[in-house]
Amino acid sequence: MDKLRRLVLNHVLFQNDWMSSRLKKFHNKTILIKISELSMYFKVNKQGLLELISQVKDPDASISMPIKSFVNQIINNENKDITIKGDIDLAKEASEILKKVKWDIEEDLSKIIGDVAANRLGIMGGKFLNESKKVTLSIAETFKEYWEEEKPLIAKKTRVHQFLAEIDNISEDVERIEAKINNIALKI
């Protein structure tokens, strides 16, 4: 399975040969990309392309993130809770490149079923993915609304802010009462 994953990922990376001009200066450097428990090690080959490799002891750079951050990066283009270690320039360049890597599925399918059929499948697949994303976001929003309104498992932002303001008011009241008590104690 690991060999198949390596073949497929390297195939996709080699399809994106535009990255070579950006990575040639990092020739022979290694990078670890860790998403929760999934670790992938890459090496910049002499052509300047990323290549999936076996685990290395001390990668030159590493990028780590929880799965939630990875999903947010894909869906909302948000870069939160990402830890970078080692060669920052390499990590930044690899991260930017991996965000832009695209698998040219149509090219691969055209070798099997022909150009026209591959193009039609590509168009249908793109529409399917677009609609799937919309439906997933809609379902997530529906659950969020349900948990906020119908079965309050999570609090609305406004309610949290209101609660915190009330806590601040109580804290200020307690400080005022404490000051009055200290004043009275001094007079006695």
Which whole-number Å values give the CA distances from 30 to 5, 20, 43, 91, 103, in the listed order?
Answer: 18, 15, 4, 10, 22
Q: How far apart are CA 25 and CA 17, in angstroms?
A: 15
In this structure, are strands 61-65 and 50-53 parallel, antiparallel, or unpaired? unpaired
Quote the pLDDT of residue 3.
63
Tell the residue number behind the tokens 């399809």, with chain if given: 15
Quote the pLDDT of residue 60.
92
pLDDT tens over the chain, length 188 residues: 556 655 666 666 666 666 677 778 888 999 888 888 788 888 888 888 777 788 888 999 988 888 777 766 666 666 677 888 898 888 888 777 777 666 666 776 677 788 787 788 778 877 877 777 777 777 877 777 776 677 666 666 777 788 888 888 888 888 888 888 888 888 87
Quote the pLDDT of residue 1.
52
Q: How far apart are CA 99 and CA 14, in angstroms?
A: 15
Q: Minimal CA–CA distance to 62: which of 86, 35, 95?
A: 86
Quote the pLDDT of residue 45.
83
- What phi-psi label fits residue 48: left (phi over 0), alpha (psi between -120 and 50 degrees) or beta? left
Q: List the beta strands (DSSP E) in 78-135.
A: 83-86
For residue 22, what are the contacts with CB-CB under 8 A and spacing of at least 6? 48, 93, 97
State which CATH number among 3.30.1050.10, 3.40.630.30, 3.30.930.10, 3.40.50.300 fits the domain covering 2-100.
3.30.1050.10
40 DSSP β-pair partners: 33
Quote the pLDDT of residue 4.
62
- The domain ranges of the chain are 2-100, 104-154, 155-188
Quote the pLDDT of residue 74.
64
Report whether 174 contacts 166 (CB < 8 A). no
Quote the pLDDT of residue 6.
58
For residue 137, what are the contacts with CB-CB under 8 A and spacing of at least 6? 75
65 DSSP β-pair partners: 35
Quote the pLDDT of residue 15.
66
